Every structure is written in C-alpha cells, then in structure tokens.
Amino acid sequence: MRWLTSLSRILREAPNLIAGALLLLAILIVALCARHITSYDPMDMAGTPFLWPGADAGFPLGTDMMGRDMLSGIAYGARVSLEIGITAGVLAALAGMIVGAVAGFYGGFVDEALMRLTEFFQTMPALLFTIVMVVVVRPSVPTIVLSVALTSWPQVARLVRAEALRVSRTEYVQAARVIGMTRPHIVVTHVLPNVMTPAVVMISILAGNAILTEAVLSFLGLGDPNVVTWGSMIGLGRESLQTAWYMTAIPGGAVLVTVLSLNLLGNGLNDLANPRRRGKRRGGA
C-alpha cells in the first residue's frame, strides 16, 4: 500500500510528471516493439508511392514518394531519436554536473577558469557549432550526440555551481575538512550527491533539445544517411508538401509529442524537487 500512497502524492503534487511519463512510455514501447508493429524495413520500397494514410490496410500511415512504409519510419525512427536525445542529455548533464560542482566547491582561480570556459561554450551559437562539427567530422549518430552535448552542458554547470556554493558552506562539508578529507574526496562523497537534483531534472529538457536539433540537422540533409529518423522523413516530405502534406505532418507530430513528453517530465521532476515552486503554483491557482 505504500506505493499507492507515493503514487497519490505524485499525482497530487506533480501531475505533469505522470502525464509526461505516460507519453514517454508509449513512445518507448513503439520504439522497442518496432519489429512487431510493422513487418517492413523502413528503408525498403515496399508499397505504392504516395499512398495516403488509411488508403491501404497494409500501410496504416501510408507511404512516402519512394513507396517506403511511413509506420516503419515512425517506429524505427523513434529508436534513433530517443537514443540521440537521452544519450546527449545524460552526457551533457554529467559534464555540467562535474564542472559546476568543482567550480562551486573549489572557488578562486578554478572557479574563474571553469566559468570562463562555460561562458565561452554558452555564447557559442549552438546550432551553428553542431552543423560545423557534423560537416567537418561526418554525419553520424555519435557525432550528433557529441556535438549536442558539447553545446548543452553549460546550462547544467551554472545550475550545479550555485548549488555547490551552498553545499560547500554546510556543516557536514566543514566537518569533512576538519577531519582531513582531501578536496577531491569531499567533492565525490559530499558535493556531487547533493547537487545531482538540478542535473537530473535538466536531462529531460536537454534530451528534448537534442531531438529537435537532430530533426533540424536531418531536415537540412546533415543527418546520418544510414538510418531513418523523424527529421530525415520531414526533410524528404517537404518536396511534396503541397500534394502530400502527411509525409511531413506525421513525423513532425511524433517529434512534437516526444519533446512535449520530455518537457512535462522535466517540469514534474522540478515540481517534486522544489516545494516552493509547488507552493507558488497553488497560490496562483
């Protein structure tokens, strides 16, 4: 019964978390069960080109201009989009958490140097940097993940630094210094565990941004040519936007729902982690 009590508390205090989690769970199920949902490979020209959704029971979402199954593209494209989003979000959160924790705890020259580095990456045009990196290296999923993570970690670093400044003044950190613990040991055992909350909350937001960035890159023809993504489907569909708008609308809707679910999840986690925010929302209501 304890889990029912916890669930009711989450429903009451963070309904966005439940809504986002359910939406994201549905997308994960589609991604993981892609081969059971459709029998076609997303790269195969399996049907008649320009088949509208509902026109053929064998192709519920229709086909594109090359006769490829739209449902297969959506299902298998979910895997790539979630892989890019979650991996880039986790990498950016880890990098930002480490930089922010070290800067906030050490202070002085270390803080100044790390914050100047953070500002350098933060002022850099993120999309332009990603495009340049993808073009210089090569369009691939790992390249996109790395470039998105490199431009996203400063947001986490600033949030974590502020929290680390507070933690560094607490009694248990001062006691650790007194008993002779080294500063790296204090950072690992006392600072990082207590500044993880902002980083964890930011993962969902960063994942949503990464999915949007991948869609833009694929739309521009800079995505991984060896995989089908929602962005590449949108990019191909723009050529037939006036005559077959469903080719753009269906993958565009998939991107919209996924990013919305991640944003709802992030807002819900923030509500649970920040009682003051919940209080303000109730007061405003």
In a domain, 33, yes or no: no
Which tens digits make up the pLDDT trace of 193-218? Answer: 888 888 888 888 899 899 889 888 88
The pLDDT, as a whole number, for residue 10 is: 60
Number of domain units in the chain = 1
Q: Which burial class, exposed, middle or buried, applies to 3 when counting CB atoms under 10 A from its CB (0-12, 13-18, 19+)?
A: exposed
Give residue 92's pLDDT: 93
Whole-number pLDDT of residue 238: 82
Question: Residue 46 domain-assigned?
Answer: no
Alpha carbons within 13 A on the beta-carbon side of 118: 26
pLDDT given at position 124? 84
Q: Is residue 26 part of a domain?
A: no
Which pLDDT band holds residue 170 (cuts at 50, 70, 90)?
A: confident
Q: Tell the residue number behind the tokens 């209501």, with chain if given.
A: 285
**Would you say residue 97 has pLDDT above 90?**
yes
CA 253 to chain centre: 17
**Residue 41 within a domain:** no
In a domain, 242, yes or no: yes
For the record, the structure tokens of 274 come out as 């920040």
Residue 89 is assigned to a structural domain of this protein: yes
Distance of CA 272 to the CA centre of its chain: 19
Report the distance separating Cα 240 and Cα 196, nearest Å.
46
16-71 per-position pLDDT tens digit: 888 888 999 999 999 999 888 888 888 888 888 888 998 888 899 999 888 899 99
Percent of the chain with pLDDT over 70: 91
**What pTM value is reported for the model?**
0.84
Q: Is the pLDDT of residue 152 over 50?
A: yes
Beta bridge partners of 69: 63
- Note whether residue 62 is domain-resident: no
- The reported pLDDT for the residue numbered 58 is 86
Nearest residue to 173 (alpha-carbon basis) of 149, 198, 190? 190
Instruction: Give the span between the Cα atoms of 36 and 108, in whole angstroms.
Output: 57
Q: What CATH number does residue 118 fall under?
A: 1.10.3720.10
**Residue 198 located in a structural domain:** yes
Structural domain containing residue 177: 68-284
Q: Residue 63 pairs with which residues in a beta bridge?
A: 69
